[in-house]
């Protein structure tokens, strides 16, 4: 709870530590639900893949049932990972993706694809006010320094003058969104009447070699770069088309 200390001091804020895989029996009226549950960092979601799948499937189902009971608006945090290793570039919302269904990333990719399916079916069947946002790589304040994703890894390595760990040859690309901009996107998405998925991301694409150099320059670090094996199924490139947003 260290990230929410300032909120805990507010009388209008209540914190329940609850696993969404179990039914949450909440008695007061709910207007809006943001389902942000599920680790998003590959080392975290791969640590317990079955739990990741349960969160994205059973957990999402429980959230939708809670929303249905309250007729609340409900938003699902989906991911650019549903595009897998994309064969079209940049990725727009009409692309169905290129996803390995049985690999080590599948618990997250396929789990989130299933949560999108559940959302659309609750929308069609019950006219529930659902929203789906496909979030591209996000970074920023309050990130866990052991998160394992690239920006926090590189910054921590650079300021400790440790080697920057580039996986593969560093030619793979990502497009990084700052957390405050994502939050604006989440709030705006909740307010509109659009039910189909919306990409939320920053279309400025960068490869991991250039990202490492940028962080070395900004931190004035003298760290070296090392090249380590590329994780299996690591997408080669990713850049959102955000015209819809």
Q: What are the catalytic residues?
A: 108
Stretch that binds ligand UDP, among 9-17, 82-90, 127-135, 149-157 (CB under 6 A): 149-157
24 forms part of the interface with ligand UDP (CB under 6 A): no
**Which of 62, 149, 215, 242 is the binder for ligand UDP (CB under 6 A)?**
149
- Does 208 engage in binding with ligand UDP (CB under 6 A)? yes
**Rounded distance between C-alpha atoms, residue 68 and residue 118, angstroms:** 13
Residue number of the CB closest to ligand UDP reads: 149
Determine the interface stretch with ligand UDP among 94-102, 113-121, 164-172, 199-207 (rule: CB under 6 A).
164-172
Q: Does position 233 bind ligand UDP by CB under 6 A?
A: no
Q: Is 51 in the site for ligand UDP (CB under 6 A)?
A: no
Span near ligand UDP by CB under 6 A; candidates 3-11, 86-94, 114-122, 166-174: 166-174
Min dist. Cβ of residue 228 to ligand UDP (A):
7
Q: Is 153 in the site for ligand UDP (CB under 6 A)?
A: yes
Query: Where on the chain is the footprint of ligand UDP (CB under 6 A)?
Result: 42, 137, 149-150, 153, 165-167, 172, 174, 208, 231, 234
């Amino acid at each position: 709870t260290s990230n929410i200390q300032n909120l805990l001091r507010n009388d209008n804020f209540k914190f329940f530590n609850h696993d969404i895989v179990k039914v949450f029996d909440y008695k007061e009226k709910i207007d809006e639900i943001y389902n942000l549950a599920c680790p998003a960092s590959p080392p975290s979601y791969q640590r317990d893949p079955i739990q990741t799948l349960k969160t994205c499937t059973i957990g999402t189902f429980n959230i939708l049932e809670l929303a249905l009971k309250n007729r609340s608006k409900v938003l699902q945090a989906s991911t650019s990972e549903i595009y897998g290793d994309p064969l079209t570039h940049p990725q727009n919302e009409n692309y169905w993706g290129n996803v390995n269904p049985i690999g080590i990333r599948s618990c997250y990719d396929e789990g989130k694809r299933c949560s999108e399916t559940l959302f659309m079916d609750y929308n069609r069947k019950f006219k529930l006010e659902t929203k789906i946002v496909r979030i591209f790589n996000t970074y920023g304040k309050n990130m866990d320094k052991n998160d394992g994703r690239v920006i926090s890894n590189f910054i921590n390595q650079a300021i400790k003058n440790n080697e920057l760990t580039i996986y593969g040859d560093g030619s793979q690309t990502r497009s990084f969104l700052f957390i405050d901009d994502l939050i604006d996107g989440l709030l705006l998405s909740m307010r509109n009447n659009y039910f189909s998925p919306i990409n939320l991301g920053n279309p400025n694409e960068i490869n991991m070699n250039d990202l490492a150099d940028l962080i070395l320059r900004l931190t004035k670090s003298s760290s070296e770069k090392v090249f380590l094996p590329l994780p299996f199924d690591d997408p080669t490139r990713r850049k959102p088309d955000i015209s819809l947003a």
